[in-house]
Structure 1
Amino acid sequence: MNHQRIVRTVCFITAGYVIVLAVWLGWLIEHTPEATIPYQIMGLVAAFGSALGFGMMAAERPCRADRQLARRGLEGWASIERVTPLRRTPDNGELTELDLRLTVPGSESYSGRVVYEVRREEATRFVPGETITILVDPNNRDRIMLCP
């Protein structure tokens, strides 16, 4: 979960909503029939909730570079050589440094290190000696993505 992107999204949408609310209160409310004001308020609140929902969905999407890597990356595998827990994460996972032996078909194996959030239910997959699937950027072999 990318907390920084979520906070930025919520702040941006809230700032936009405050501007819309100020325009409505300062100018539009004077030019509308009084009987429609409760419906306008409901519409404004519904629009704010919808904008927050769509914004949160957009904030949870992977970044563009990760989407490109998932689409164009070369599939390979990695053998876990060492696992070093770093710290707990807010969503009940553990930030872990993994030392890997990376293998991509058509090239020699090489070593790499990645920091990855290991969820509690996935902990048995990330132990020394296990093999995991990876995607490697064909233009930069140091850029890898672990596949779930």
Structure 2
Amino acid sequence: MDHARIVRTVLGVTAAYLVALGCWLGWLVPLTPPGTLPVQIVTLVGLFGTFLGLGMMLAQRPSRSDRRLRRHGLEGWANIEAVHPLQRTDHCTEITELDLELVVPGSETYYGSIVFDVEPVVKPRIAVGGTLSIRVDPANRDRIMLCL
């Protein structure tokens, strides 16, 4: 999860909402018929929640470069040589460094490491001697993505 993107999204939606609220209070409230103020407030709060939810859904999507790597990256596999747990997070996952032997068909084997947020559901697959599917950027072999 990219916390920075979510924070930027929440701040952006909130800023846009405050601008819309200011416009509504300054220009539209005096022009509306009497008795419609509660409906307008409920509508504004509902729109804020809707746009906040949509923004957070879009913020959780992988970045454009990650989507491009998933589509056009070279397929390969990684043999796990060492697992180094670094830190537990507050959302039941564990930041872990993996030392990998990276194999991409058509090129020579190389070694690298990746820091990965291991979820409890994939923890059994992350063990020394295990094999994971990967995608490698053809232009930069140091840029890899684990495909779990």
Which TM bucket (shorter chain)? over 0.9
Distance apart, 1:36 and its partner CA: 2.1
Residue 72 of structure 1 is matched in structure 2 by: 72
Matched residue count: 148
5+ residue gaps, structure 2, are none
Higher deviation after alignment, 50-59 or 40-49: 40-49
Amino acid aligned to 2:109: S
Percent of aligned pairs with the same amino acid: 57
- Residues 62-141 of structure 1: matches in 2 within 5 Å? 62-141=62-141
- Pairwise CA distance, 1:137: 0.5
- Pick the structure with more helix per residue: 1
State the TM-score, normalized to the length of structure 1: 0.96
Aligned partners of 1:24 and 1:13: how far apart in 2? Answer: 16
Corresponding residue SS for 1:35: coil
Q: Which amino acid aligns with 1:75?
A: E
Give the letter for the 2:66 counterpart.
Answer: D
- Consecutive unaligned residues of structure 1, counting only runs of 5 or more, are none
Deviations along 1:17-74, one digit per CA (max 9) or x if unpaired, are 1111111111210011112222211211111011001000011011111011011011
Q: Supply the distance in 1 between the matched residues of 2:8 and 2:117 (Cα, whole angstroms).
A: 22
| Displacement after TM superposition at 1:119 (Å) | 1.0
Distance across 1 between alignment mates of 2:89 and 2:12: 25
1:85-123 CA-partner distances (Å, limit 9, x unpaired): 110122211000000000001111100110001112221
SS at match of 1:145: strand
Structure with greater strand percent: 1
Residue 69 of structure 1 aligns to a residue whose secondary structure is helix
State the distance in 2 between where 1:48 and 1:120 align.
33
